[in-house]
Amino acid sequence: MATLTRLPLDTYLLAGQAAPLECAICQHENRVSAEMCHVCAAPLSIARISIEEKRPTSIVACIGASSAGKTAYLGMLMDMLMRDSGSLRTTLLGPHSISLQQSTTTALAAGWYPDKTLRDPEHTCWVHCRVECGRRRRHNDVVFADFAGDCFIEELEHPGSYPAVRSILGKCAAVMVFADAQRLQSGEHDDDYISLKMLSLISEQNNKDKKRKKAWTNRSKPTPLALVLTKADTTPACADDPLTFAENHASALWQDCQRRFPKSNVFAASVTGSTGYKLVGGRRCRVPLRVEPHGIVEPFGWLVENLP
Ligand SMILES: Nc1nc2c(ncn2[C@@H]2O[C@H](COP(=O)(O)OP(=O)(O)O)[C@@H](O)[C@H]2O)c(=O)[nH]1
Ligand SMILES: [Mg+2]
Ligand SMILES: [Zn+2]
């Protein structure tokens, strides 16, 4: 006896593919219904929102070695921006943009620093927000990612292992370089080399593309760079005068920043007022004793106001 079977044809899926969505970070085409780019794992909502609202998005490259204090700084920055602190008014775009702030503030409120950032691209925190600033209340859509420091090393050693890193360096409209003031003061400069290599990669990527090179060398609207000296609570000299501190303790890095980016500025920042130690499973762990942010909004505010 013949049995009839119903077999649905999923041809509508092919129709969906016919109108692909271009990733805002790496420009690869994706399925319109996808959540993340299949190449760089950036959220596709960045592209969707830019297209829907017909607004360009400025990419801010956040670079620095592992443990430089990127996650603590960026998480605290988003928390302060969301509280309408100072002259910047910020709106988060896309549901994923809350994760960085959420994980950082949850950890700090429980008496811990945020966990070490995972290297897995699927777990990278992306922030897409609209910032209103300046006397004319100009709106800027800004996107940045909080990569683990190891991703930068891996991408340098094995190009293509973190496509989002290279795409961001090639397209960024502003740069934030993080350096640990405590390590700089004690003469430890290993971390500087990672940032120096990343800055050189930014120049290389921009010189490759004719249009980018023109924008890059446009001296009337140069790409701004903020050198953020983190953990300034541990080094009063840095908190008092970050520029002199950078000249004295990070001269190679600071000179390279200025040489490549005519519009550069140095800032001192700290998330906590002081740090203590706790024994966890026989290991001494650093814990924040007082959450007392200083100089968090200033570097980001300066970058946004100076976006080309
Ligand atoms: N004293 C002090 N230590 C900090 C501060 N921010 C971060 N740290 C320390 O630096 C470590 C690494 O910070 P994290 O933000 O994870 O660095 P990342 O690897 O660059 O993201 C933390 O676990 C803390 O021990 C700060 O503002 N002050
Ligand atoms: Mg981190
Ligand atoms: Zn992509």
Q: What is the pLDDT of residues 71-90, one digit of tens each?
A: 999 999 999 999 876 788 99
Strands 125-133 and 138-146: antiparallel
Q: Looking at the CA of 167, name the nearest ligand.
A: 3
Euclidean distance between CA atoms 43 and 116, whole angstroms: 21
The protein residue whose alpha carbon is closest to atom 26 in ligand 1 is 231
Model confidence at 38: pLDDT above 90: yes
Asked if residue 231 has its Cβ within 6 Å of ligand 1, the reply is yes
* In a domain? residue 2: no
- Beta-bridge partners for 43: 36
Asked if residue 183 has its Cβ within 6 Å of ligand 1, the reply is no
Q: Say which CATH number the domain at 32 has.
A: 3.40.50.300
Mind listing the pLDDT tens digit for each residue in 165-195?
999 999 999 999 999 999 999 999 999 999 9
Model confidence at 113: pLDDT above 60: yes
Q: Which of 111-125, 209-223, 252-266 has the lowest mean pLDDT?
A: 209-223
Tell me what the pLDDT averaged over the chain comes to.
92
* In a domain? residue 11: no
Tokens of 142: 């800004």
Ligand 1 centroid – CA 270 distance (Å): 9
Model confidence at 1: pLDDT above 60: no
Residue 56 CB contacts under 8 Å (≥ 6 apart), including other chains: 50, 141
* In a domain? residue 282: yes
What pLDDT does residue 133 have?
82
pTM above threshold 0.85? yes
Ligand 2 centroid – CA 306 distance (Å): 26
What pLDDT does residue 205 have?
87
Q: Which residues surround ligand 2, an ion (CB under 5 A)?
A: 70-71, 117
Model confidence at 12: pLDDT above 60: no
What pLDDT does residue 13 have?
58
* In a domain? residue 262: yes
Query: DSSP of the chain, one letter per residue?
Result: ---------THHHHHHHTS-EE-TTT--EE-TT-SB-TTT--BTHHHHHHHHHT--EEEEEEE--TTSSHHHHHHHHHHHHHTT-TT-EEEE-SGGGGHHHHHHHHHHHTT-PPPPPP--GGG-EEEEEEEEETTTTEEEEEEEEE--HHHHHHHHHSTTSSHHHHHHHHH-SEEEEEEEHHHHHTT--HHHHHHHHHHHHHHHHHHHSHHHHHHHT-TTSPPPEEEEEE-GGG-HHHHH-HHHHHHHHSHHHHHHHHHH-SSEEEEE-EEEEEEEEEEETTEEEEEEEEEEEESSHHHHHHHHHT--
**Domain ranges, residue 54:** 21-305
* In a domain? residue 15: no
The answer to whether residues 288 and 114 touch, using CB atoms and an 8 Å cutoff, is: no
What pLDDT does residue 211 have?
78
* In a domain? residue 129: yes
* In a domain? residue 8: no
* In a domain? residue 250: yes
Asked if residue 124 has its Cβ within 6 Å of ligand 1, the reply is no
Model confidence at 214: pLDDT above 70: yes
Domain count, the chain: 1
